[in-house]
Structure formats: C-alpha cells, structure tokens
C-alpha cells in the first residue's frame, strides 16, 4: 500500500514539475537564448543551424511516431525493421535540415507559450499553444505532444493551421503511388 502511495505521489510531482506548457516554454527559451548568442555564426555557416537543431530540438521529438504517421500504417508495416530505421533516419535528417534553414531567419524573435488549463495537464496527449513574434508578425504555433515514460515528446507542429505531419503525409503518399519506398528514402536523403 505504501509503495503504491509513493508511486502516485511521484507521478503527481512529475506532472507538477514539468507540465507540457512548461516543457515547451523551456525548450523555446533555451533555443532563443542560443540563437541570440550564435546569430552571426548562424548566418555564415549552415552547420551551426544543424548543430543547434540537433542539440535543442531533436532530443524532444518523437521521430518514430512521426515516421510511422507520415508513411501511413500500410506502408510502414510493409517494410522490415532495417528499412523502417533507414526511413526514420532519413526523415529525421530532412526535418533537422529544414528546421536549421529556418533558423537563419532568426531576428530577435520571441515566443509566448500559452498556459494550459489545469484539467489538461494530466493527459498523456496534449496540445500546447504558442505565439511566435517575428519581424512584426504574430505566428500561431501549436505543438502536439505525447508523454512517453514521463518525458514529453513532440510528434507534430501546426503552424498557422498547417500540420507538419499532414503536409509530409500528403506528399509522401502521393510519391509512393509512383515510387517504391527506396526511391522515397533516396529522395528525402537528398533534401
């Protein structure tokens, strides 16, 4: 009975320490701080953007869930484990390169993470809303997160109503109608 109580207390403490909105805010603030420090280098060297994306973003992304989702269940299950891993690695690399390119546009942007209602903080899948203030514009961003083993992972980002996952899924499924999976993997490796 006591061990059960301790387990429940620890679970509650975990949620209280790091709700999803706090998680997103911490990532955002760390990323922005790093971008401010490396702003000049970032504009000169594309590898700096990739390093920042790998350090501050990649550890918090559920690349496996994203990979399965963009391919669809049928295509994913048609591959063996090695081919699934090859696709996941290629897709992850493409996302990081794409994200790193967008970091070059950084101009002292700020982000405001909207607080989540308390009732949602205990859910295992949540959406965290935020607003990016960039060059006089307000850009609405929603992060879809899943709690896996007491760690939040981002599995989709929706920018101004456009889902990253849905966008890639539409592209990839159209390509898979005319190209085998090896062709798709080769194509995304070259992005």
Q: Would residue 54 count as lying in a domain?
A: yes
Write down the pLDDT at residue 18. Answer: 65
- The pTM assigned to this predicted structure is 0.82
Domain count within the chain: 1
Question: CB 95: neighbour CB atoms within 10 A?
Answer: 23
Q: Would residue 171 count as lying in a domain?
A: yes
Label residue 72 by pLDDT band (50, 70, 90).
Answer: very high
Stretch (H or E) spanning 17: helix 2-17
The per-residue pLDDT for range 19-71, each reduced to its tens digit, is 899 999 999 999 999 888 888 888 888 889 999 999 989 999 999 999 999 99
Domain ranges, residue 167: 20-189
Q: Do residues 49 and 42 lie in contact, with contact meaning Cβ atoms separated by under 8 Å?
A: yes
Write down the pLDDT at residue 12. Answer: 35
CA–CA dist 59, 179 (Å, integer): 31
The per-residue pLDDT for range 86-144, each reduced to its tens digit, is 999 999 999 999 888 888 877 778 899 999 887 676 788 999 999 999 888 899 999 99
Q: Would residue 12 count as lying in a domain?
A: no
Q: Is it the case that residue 166 has pLDDT exceeding 70?
A: yes
Q: Do residues 92 and 84 lie in contact, with contact meaning Cβ atoms separated by under 8 Å?
A: no
Q: Would residue 1 count as lying in a domain?
A: no
Q: Would residue 7 count as lying in a domain?
A: no
CATH number of residue 113's parent domain: 3.10.450.710
Q: Would residue 6 count as lying in a domain?
A: no
């Amino acid at each position: 009975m006591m061990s059960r109580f301790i387990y429940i207390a620890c679970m509650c403490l975990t949620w209280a320490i790091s709700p999803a909105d706090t998680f997103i805010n911490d990532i955002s603030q760390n990323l922005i701080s790093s971008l401010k420090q490396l702003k000049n280098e970032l504009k000169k060297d594309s590898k700096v953007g990739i390093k920042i994306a790998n350090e501050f973003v990649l550890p918090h992304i559920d690349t496996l869930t994203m990979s399965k989702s963009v391919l669809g269940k049928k295509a994913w299950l048609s591959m063996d484990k090695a081919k699934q891993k090859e696709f996941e690695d290629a897709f992850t690399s493409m996302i990081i390169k794409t994200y790193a390119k967008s970091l070059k546009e950084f101009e002292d942007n700020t982000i405001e993470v909207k607080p989540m209602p308390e009732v949602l903080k205990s859910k295992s899948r949540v959406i965290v809303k935020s607003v990016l203030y960039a060059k006089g514009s307000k850009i609405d961003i929603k992060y879809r997160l899943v709690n896996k083993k007491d760690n939040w992972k981002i599995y989709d980002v929706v920018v101004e109503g456009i889902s990253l996952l849905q966008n890639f899924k539409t592209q990839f499924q159209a390509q898979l109608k005319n190209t085998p999976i090896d062709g798709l993997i080769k194509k995304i490796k070259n992005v």
